[in-house]
A and B are shown apart, each in its own frame.
Chain A
């Protein structure tokens, strides 16, 4: 750079120092914001590596399996469960505790020198438990204290199936353990499969102890590995046992059955497919337990009934063999006779119905007739049943008689409901052949191995008084041998459920092979066809997924960049103003350079070089500031703005790229500001420059008088375009429906709506002010007020810039501020409750409450509340409370009882085809956390690894920002193995709320039942949003304060430039005090007009785009705006005082 410029730099050092400092601030704020983003991402990444240690991949399952299933070296098996922990000594409780059954190998993932002490403490009757500090703080316990750990009992049979265990005492496994060690909440102490920044409650128990307690010796439900190779289906050596299946060969056939009693649909379908493909004969059966088989007022209690193909194979053969022609005829006659009766009855009812009129009474009668007709239809199509001889004799029935069966089903509320089914006896079989075959009936512990029926230990209620001696004799002689048989399709219609529709499949030998060869071939083919994902295995790349999620749902770099936007804009404007002042100061110099023949390009370049040097030095200085600014922001996030991140987990992470980006962006901004200023140099004539004329805008004003024809045309064109835009916009606001229909929904995008409105109002405001400035109308009366206000037109360019800056800033602050909701949120629900362990009984019925252990008094209290239970598919929190990018959202199944209420009815709007389900999601969670367009379907995987497309309906500011919701019927269809209810919405009268919450938490403490006020839950979501807005207001306010400082500086400069005029006024008798007052009034006028335009634009835009004024946060917004106003006033007072300090009158002398 020429020495020439270096001298200039030195000569005008004050202004250059200020420009450099401003650039440093811009760089500091920009790079600092990016560093905040780095720090959030870096901290989330650190948390991920900390919580997972060296774990790379995992095999997880929704059931227990043998670790040998995974054919890999370097594997660490474990059991992972959720549960609650109670500390009896301190009377404290923690729910949502991660319970891990591990070996010492597990801790090697964190390369710690020693594993925590998991040894049984000497002299203690109880086994050891290691807890993390987070749990210690929650429970206030020490090493040596006893803890009670509650978790779901592992069961083969699903709790919601008839034979499943749901009794609280049996469904929950409690373990008493002694705290042997407390580890810090880092490394293994922070271990969690969930990507969330909050501190987890972790307990570790030795694997064998947990396996024994759960009755799962040698079994686990998770395997981890530090190998970098992902675990895949190929690594799994599936076995029938591993799938919970067993095969028993009996001579020339073998039976496939499940430990879960019902064969999972995927398994039975695959088995039947393999059989068909290999021409293996099959006999699928479904065995169920009838409470009673009755006829002729005689009752047989508790009998097994088998549904099977009755018109083919061995059974048909046996039936034919033992059914006489007379019996066949009797069956046919009974049916025909019934048919005649039914037809007669039917005709009578139809005639009766025709006579009815449309009165209220007749309508009721018509309904009754329709019901009766349906009943007749059922009677006409009564299904067939075959009894064994013992049962037929006991009931005294003959072929063609009506047989009634009662059985239990499990209702939607998980209560046992007694159902009744009517049959017509088709045949009677001796207890022989397949009718005597007990092998088709899967074993059920507690029943199968009982010596007597009176010793049955079943999960469902049994009335032992019904059991007669002859029943015991039958049990002694034939055991569970079925007493009745029915066609498979009838059995499926009655007893099919989401867990399956077959209990056993019998396979015969394939053609030309023996049974052993068939079995071997079947097994290998069957296992080859089964995909592990279909049966509840998950292959997870924990480390990679975790690191990917660490990118975060919210880019804090961009967030803080935008939040600090005002500071950056203010600084950019300040730099532009300062640089412009610098250039203006030197207008004579520019004039001289031009006069002596310097080309304009060179002069501009000279200023650009100077600017670049100053900005370069400033931005380097800014790098230091950036780190300081980032530290300050991180400190803010850990303290003042903690709700935005939930847990103070952040550390400073500086990515050099961010620094470089910050420097480059701020340099670009600064250089653009300078470039624009320098560009305007050429617009001023050399003579004007030599005369020292400075304000470009004033010159424009002068030149206005000499408008060219072209500029007049342009001005007319501008007016026409503006008018068209305004008319179009007004049309759009009024006829928005037509616009939506024509142009689609993008045009009414709320953000677009808001922006258009704001810009229009602001534009109108600016235009009005500009017109007023230019107005030459002479008022009828010229007074001091007009005199002071009209001073704003002295330098219209500067005044307009001031107004624009202030109004834009205030508009944004108001527009953002009105979205802050200070008032406590209201909801019709009193509470949201979550249970760590699933509840299988209804809280809405006295029976359900009794089963859950509520006393009569509390049950009565709870009857005053309405409780909506939701099913839960564990997953990640998709609300703003989770900083990680969620990949597998938590899904809720909304109960049918709530589906009538808004907005739940949306869940049943569509009857979905397979693989699709309507779902509800909170629009903010979808848009900002899941980064998903709510108009598109959201894709998840069902329990069988198949894609499930969620058709989204959105709600806003709801209690459900953490989950996606589908209907319960879809939930059980796509996630059948998830049992019970773990999420509750509770409506309670206000006076009973406290009492109800306490009663629920206390009685259901073993389940880890946590009740939260619905309003508080909403407030926690809002707190994040409010915190962002507070952060914006703080940083934005700071930016505006900086801006007002800049404006004051400009004002100061204005006064200095107007010293001659001010001195003239003094000469004409204006006192110094009067001059100060008028100048102050002038500056306040600009501040007030700017603020007024901005505030009105912000409020009107919010009002129009939302249809009403949102809950206005008067306090916070008023404080922010008042601070801006007061600071602006103070800055102006100082500017006026300093500018008028030096003697004015000397400027009037001509010599």
Chain B
């Protein structure tokens, strides 16, 4: 699906990927997120090719290096907001308690008073904010967002987008967002456009 794509991205930058449906945006994002292995070519993150790692190592790597925000928020309805944020910390045992950071993140996304609520009790925008907090809980180097505002109205889209940029700057992550929403593209450092699996660099910061 993807052909001749060569990219080099540095931490702290923000990248937006656009393109028509079926152009391979999500596939590219999944490859960067190590969810899919490319049939050809090399991916290196922090000088490591993640696809050479074993399954447990890759999972651990993804857990600590990458954070995801999807179009469908995929919050688990049975857990409270705070618990949802904490879920990625359970994948591997760490000595520290992440609750404090989760509370802080929720404060930063403006959901302090919603900590004990269930996702079903939140609005769409709130849910996506929880998803962003969840993606950042393990302080990832890369934050990948697949149509994060695809299901939101314009007002909420702006709020979520602002929040994304704010947190990206605060956490100094590499932010990669796939979106159809062209109004957002100007706010990113770089803009890549995918057409038929090939990459056109629209703007390079």
Contact = CB atoms under 8 A, between A and B. Distances in A.
Interface string B136-176: 00000000001100100000000000000000000000000
Nearest to B79: A790
Contacts of A911: none
Given A778-B80, A1070-B59, A1065 B72 contact: no
Interface stretch (A369-377, A781-789, A856-864, A1004-1012): A781-789
A1067 B78 CA distance: 19
A1060 B74 contact: yes
Given A781-B99, A1150-B146, A1150-B150, A1069 B30 contact: no
B60 interface: yes
B64 interface: yes
B115 A778 contact: yes
A794 B99 contact: no
Given A1064-B68, A1145-B35, A1151-B26, A783 B55 contact: no
| A-side interface size class | 35 or more
A1051 to B, nearest CB: 15
B116 A776 contact: yes
B90 A782 contact: yes
A793 B83 CA distance: 13
B42 interface: no
B35 A701 contact: no
Given A1060-B74, A1151-B26, A1072 B90 contact: no
Given A777-B116, A1064-B70, A1149-B30, A1069 B83 contact: no
A1058 to B, nearest CB: 8
A1148 B35 contact: yes
Interface string A1065-1078: 11111111010000
Interface stretch (B2-10, B117-125, B181-189, B196-204): B117-125
B78 A794 contact: yes
A787 B93 CA distance: 13
Contact of B70 (A776, A783, A790, A1150): A1150
Interface in A673-728: 698, 701-702, 705
Contacts of A259: none
A336 interface: no
Contact of B35 (A705, A777, A778, A1067): A1067
B190 interface: no
Interface string B101-133: 000000000000001111011000000000000
Interface in B74-96: 74, 76-80, 82-83, 86-88, 90-92
A519 B55 CA distance: 119
A1069 B77 contact: no
B191 to A, nearest CB: 18
Contacts of B66: 1067
Contacts of A787: 79, 83, 87, 90
Interface string A238-274: 0000000000000000000000000000000000000
Contact of A1069 (B62, B78, B146): B62
A419 interface: no
Contacts of A783: 90
A954 interface: no
A1067 B33 contact: yes
B141 to A, nearest CB: 14
Contacts of B117: 776
Nearest to B137: A1068
Interface in B10-47: 21-22, 25-27, 30, 33, 35-36
A1015 interface: no
A791 interface: yes
A227 interface: no
Nearest to A795: B78
A1061 interface: yes
Interface in A756-788: 776-778, 781-784, 787
A1150 B147 CA distance: 7
A777 B146 CA distance: 32
Residue picked from A784, A794, A1061, most chain B C-beta under 10 Å: A1061
Contact of A1151 (B21, B60, B74, B97): B21
A781 B98 CA distance: 9
B63 interface: yes
B68 A1149 contact: no
Given A705-B121, A1149-B146, A794 B77 contact: yes
A705 B120 contact: yes
Contacts of A698: 77, 120
A1150 B181 CA distance: 14
Contacts of B134: 1068
Contacts of A1071: 55-56, 59, 91
A599 to B, nearest CB: 29
A1150 B71 contact: yes
Residue picked from A702, A776, A794, A1145, most chain B C-beta under 10 Å: A776
A590 to B, nearest CB: 21
Contacts of A1063: 74
A1074 B93 CA distance: 12
Contacts of B59: 1066, 1069-1071
A776 B74 contact: no
B192 interface: no
B128 to A, nearest CB: 13
A262 B80 CA distance: 98
A1069 B82 contact: no
Interface string A485-512: 0000000000000000000000000000
A791 B77 CA distance: 9
A793 B121 CA distance: 15
Residue picked from A701, A1061, A1068, A1071, most chain B C-beta under 10 Å: A1068
B74 A1061 contact: yes
Nearest to A782: B86
Interface in A20-43: none
A1063 B146 CA distance: 14
Contacts of B30: 1145, 1148-1149
B169 to A, nearest CB: 23
B97 A781 contact: yes
A1068 B88 contact: yes
A784 B74 CA distance: 19
Nearest to B20: A1151
A739 to B, nearest CB: 44
Given A782-B99, A1064-B70, A1150-B70, A1072 B55 contact: yes
Nearest to A1071: B59
B124 to A, nearest CB: 12
B72 A1060 contact: yes
Contacts of B55: 1071-1072
Contacts of A782: 82-83, 86, 90, 99
Nearest to B24: A1151
A1069 B64 contact: yes
Given A778-B116, A1069-B62, A1069-B92, A1148 B70 contact: yes
Nearest to B102: A782
Contacts of B25: 1151
Contacts of A776: 80, 116-118
B72 to A, nearest CB: 6
A1065 B83 CA distance: 13
A714 to B, nearest CB: 21
Interface string A1112-1151: 0000000000000000000000000000000001001111
Given A782-B90, A1067-B70, 15 more contacts: A776-B116, A784-B90, A787-B83, A787-B87, A787-B90, A790-B83, A791-B78, A1065-B87, A1066-B35, A1066-B59, A1067-B35, A1069-B59, A1069-B91, A1148-B30, A1150-B146
9 contacts: A698-B77, A701-B118, A792-B78, A794-B78, A1066-B35, A1069-B61, A1145-B30, A1150-B72, A1151-B26
Interface of A: 698, 701-702, 705, 776-778, 781-784, 787, 790-794, 1060-1061, 1063-1072, 1074, 1145, 1148-1151
Q: Which 5 A-B pairs have the closest CB atoms?
A: A1069-B63, A793-B78, A1064-B74, A1068-B88, A1150-B71
